[in-house]
Amino acid sequence: MNDIRKYFPVLNQEVNGHPLVYLDSAATSQKPTQVLEVLKKYYEFDNSNVHRGVHTLGNRATDSYEGAREKIRKFINANSTEEIIYTRGTTTSINTVAAAYGRANVNEGDEIVITKMEHHSNFIPWQQLAKQQKAVLKFIELEEDGTISLETVRQTITPKTKIVAVTMASNVLGTINPVKEITEIAHENGAITVIDAAQGAPHMPIDVQDIDCDFLAFSGHKMCGPTGIGVLYGKKAHLENMEPIEFGGEMIDFVDLYDSTWKELPWKFEGGTPNIAGAIGLGAAIDFLNEIGLENIAKHEHELVEYAIAEMEKVGGISIYGPLDPSKRCGLITFNLDGVHPHDLATVLDMNGIAIRAGHHCAQPLMKWLQCTATARASFYMYNSKEDVDAFVAGLRMAKEYFNDVF
Amino acid sequence: MSFNNLDQLYRSVIMDHYKKPRNKGSLDENSVTIDMNNPTCGDRIHLTLKINDGLVEDAKFEGEGCSISMSSASMMTEVIIGKKVDDALQLADIFSKMMLGEDYSDKYDLGDVEALQGVSKFPARIKCATLAWKAMERGVQAESK
């Protein structure tokens, strides 16, 4: 995996006089040359609007745009490209389900079930939907180590439950959730599942037919693609029955003065000129991920996390959140260092060229569960190395010494 | 690795206020209460001010946050207690200029607050330092309306 680094030009720089160690890929990943070149080529040679006009550039842009949709379909093993909707990102994808499916199918007294570990993007849309529809919002409580027990899932989901929304991998705890089993329990109770795969798609193979989930959402920018492009997968049977939530160009069939009809799937959910370059860039990112192999990426991250946890424990005074068993978690570590606020820690590391995240990670209810207001997070991707972990751990030791001994 | 760069930001007086905050707590009777947070990072402050006849008679704060935000709150309360409302607002303005690295009036003795000057060189941390001052400004303005 070590020569993968050469594909990521951004990593080849110094920050505050030190070589950049980028440990914030859970927030956004870096982009390989392969993606950057496709974006450049699109704007330099093919830039044109899609699904309009008959000219050559328009055809090329449309072919690339729809070609990327097929790559995405294959990437998550969806049945058909009709089930792949381009969005702005995970947040828009989930909001689309909440608005288009939720408002039509959730009524007063119905239940929406989510977990305590959800990112705000898979939390607030359901909280607001529950308020609007006078539905009951219920939470799957977490085990002490930050995992989900299927027993608790069975106790929480009832025949009144209409929607179960759960993350594939937690952006804070790192926990990988049993989304297939949760979906099975939801279906037994007549509920549908919405899977937040923002932290899943970049790091592990996904098969939506095997999971049997009803909806699944992810973002391009966390998986080597550009920002502003994401995906909503939905089972065709659901999507066909859903009304669009954005109206305008691109998504219409016939427009009359007092009524209109919509294009077929997936375009009825893609009003307005889409993020064409973003979609093509995401397609290139998927080609890149396939070339490296998601299994290889997962294995590499797994090794880094195992090594990092062992090294961090040697520093002393570090609390790590989420399951300590590396086989239960993805490639990120959320933690606190005694006596050093995460912001202060992030500044010390930044002075050494190391980028980590500090704060509540868009998961305030989870922070309450963890009983802390802020935490620090180091997240790894295919381009990180053991040397990165060593630099990071040296930074932790320095911060510990600086704040606890100097003052 | 040296600590030189860090010393620009983390002066010992800052760490002293962080570890031994002044005016920590909450005023109860007849006080103005302001709760503010920094939604991007989770820092929060609960500030209570006792204002009478245009004078800030007392101030106390509680909160959670990094060394910069909490020491700034501690220093802010120290410098505004006993000041006229107008002076407190001018101090907030001076502090904001200090954070932006702009010139500011030397009309007031800023005391320990001067130690926060180095924050202006760490753009990501300016919001930490200004939280308590924004809360104070809001409280003083609400009371003097």
Inter-chain touch A394–B68, beta carbons under 8 Å: no
Q: Is cis: bond before A266, omega within 30 of 0?
A: yes
Touching check for A405 and chain B: CB below 8 Å? no
Q: Which residues of A touch B19 (CB under 8 A)?
A: 407
pLDDT range class, residue B8, cuts 50, 70, 90: confident
Distance CA A385, CA A388 (A): 5
Chain position carrying tokens 């790590």: A320
Inter-chain touch A359–B42, beta carbons under 8 Å: yes
Q: Which of the listed residues A239, A269, A291 is the one where a domain comes to its end?
A: A291
pLDDT recorded at residue B2: 58
Q: Which residue has the higher pLDDT, A162 or B29?
A: A162
Is there a single domain that holds both residue A281 and residue A320?
A: no
Which residue of chain A comes nearest to B66, CA vs CA? A341
Q: Which residues of B touch A352 (CB under 8 A)?
A: 1
Chains A, B: CB contacts under 8 A, how many?
A: 58
Mean of the pLDDT values across residues A285-310?
Answer: 96
The answer to the question of residue A352 being in a domain is: yes
Least confident of A63-72, A91-100, A186-195, A243-252: A243-252
Q: How many C-beta atoms lie closer than 10 Å to residue A59's C-beta?
A: 14
pLDDT recorded at residue A405: 72
Helix (H, G, I), strand (E, B) or coil at A140: strand
- pLDDT at residue B56 above 60? yes
Is there a single domain that holds both residue A321 and residue A397?
A: yes
- pLDDT at residue A53 above 80? no
Q: Are strands A357-359 and A375-379 parallel, antiparallel or unpaired?
A: antiparallel
Which of B3, B16, B41 shows the shortest C-beta gap to A359? B41
Q: Which of A373, A400, A401 to mutate to test the interface with B (most CBs of B within 10 A)?
A: A373
- pLDDT at residue A253 above 70? yes
Is there a single domain that holds both residue A206 and residue A75?
A: yes
Which residue of chain A comes nearest to B37, CA vs CA? A373
Mean of the pLDDT values across residues A21-37?
Answer: 98
Which residues, 6 or more positions from B41, have their beta carbon under 8 angstroms from its beta carbon? A343, A358, A359, A360, A374, B65, B127, B128
Which of A347, A360, A402 shows the shortest C-beta gap to B42? A360
Distance CA B94, CA A48 (A): 51
Inter-chain touch B122–A367, beta carbons under 8 Å: no
| Nearest-CA distance B12 → chain A (Å) | 7
Inter-chain touch A402–B12, beta carbons under 8 Å: no
pLDDT, tens digit, for every residue of A163-184?
Answer: 999 999 999 999 999 999 999 9
Touching check for A374 and chain B: CB below 8 Å? yes
Question: What average pLDDT is seen over chain B?
Answer: 92
Chain position carrying tokens 């798609």: A201
Mean of the pLDDT values across residues B88-103?
Answer: 96
The catalytic position among A213, A224, A330, A362 is A362
pLDDT, tens digit, for every residue of B105-138?
Answer: 999 999 999 999 999 989 989 999 999 999 999 9
Report the number of secondary-structure helices (H) and strands (E) in chain A. Answer: 14, 17
- pLDDT at residue B79 above 90? yes
Q: How many C-beta atoms lie closer than 10 Å to residue A240's C-beta?
A: 12
The domain tally of chain A equals 2
pLDDT recorded at residue A155: 98
DSSP letter string over A154-216?
HHH--TTEEEEEEESB-TTT-BBP-HHHHHHHHHHTT-EEEEE-TTTTTTS---HHHHT-SEE
Task: Give the closest residue to A75 by CA, choosing from A381, A290, A296.
Answer: A290
Inter-chain touch A358–B41, beta carbons under 8 Å: yes
Domains and CATH numbers, chain B: 4-144 (3.90.1010.10)
Q: What percent of chain A has pLDDT over 70?
A: 99
Task: Give the closest residue to A194 by CA, choosing from A153, A235, A236.
Answer: A235
Question: What average pLDDT is seen over chain A?
Answer: 96
Q: Which of the listed residues A291, A311, A346 is the one where a domain comes to its end?
A: A291
Which residues, 6 or more positions from A335, have their beta carbon under 8 angstroms from its beta carbon? A312, A318, A319, A320, A321, A375, A376, A377, A378
Inter-chain touch B40–A347, beta carbons under 8 Å: no
CB B111 within 8 A of CB B75: yes
Burial A339-361 (b: 16+ CB within 10 A, else e): ebbbbbbbbbbbbbbbbbbbbbb
Chain B segment 25-84 residues within 8 A of A by beta carbon are 40-44, 64-69
pLDDT recorded at residue B144: 73
The answer to the question of residue A402 being in a domain is: yes
pTM of the model: 0.93
Largest CA distance in chain A: 75
Domain that holds residue A358: 2-24+293-406
- pLDDT at residue B1 above 60? no
Which residue of chain B comes nearest to A403, CA vs CA? B15
Which residue of chain A comes nearest to B70, CA vs CA? A341
pLDDT range class, residue B34, cuts 50, 70, 90: very high
Inter-chain touch A358–B6, beta carbons under 8 Å: no
Which residue of chain B comes nearest to A342, CA vs CA? B66
pLDDT recorded at residue B10: 86
- pLDDT at residue B5 above 80? no
Is there a single domain that holds both residue A368 and residue A309?
A: yes
Inter-chain touch A341–B40, beta carbons under 8 Å: no
Is there a single domain that holds both residue A131 and residue A108?
A: yes
The answer to the question of residue A29 being in a domain is: no
Touching check for A19 and chain B: CB below 8 Å? no
Q: Which of B5, B8, B19, B46 to mutate to test the interface with A (most CBs of A within 10 A)?
A: B5
pLDDT range class, residue A100, cuts 50, 70, 90: very high
Look up A362 and say whether it is catalytic.
yes
pLDDT, tens digit, for every residue of A365-405?
Answer: 898 899 888 899 999 999 999 999 999 999 999 999 988 87
Q: Which of the listed residues A257, A291, A325 is the one where a domain comes to its end?
A: A291
Is there a single domain that holds both residue A217 and residue A78?
A: yes
Q: How many C-beta atoms lie closer than 10 Å to residue A249's C-beta?
A: 13
| Nearest-CA distance A406 → chain B (Å) | 9
pLDDT recorded at residue B145: 66
DSSP code, position A222: G
| Nearest-CA distance A373 → chain B (Å) | 6
pLDDT recorded at residue A361: 82
The answer to the question of residue A166 being in a domain is: yes
CATH of the domain at A300: 3.90.1150.10
Q: What percent of chain A has pLDDT over 90?
A: 91
Distance CA A34, CA A7 (A): 8
CATH of the domain at A78: 3.40.640.10
- pLDDT at residue A85 above 60? yes
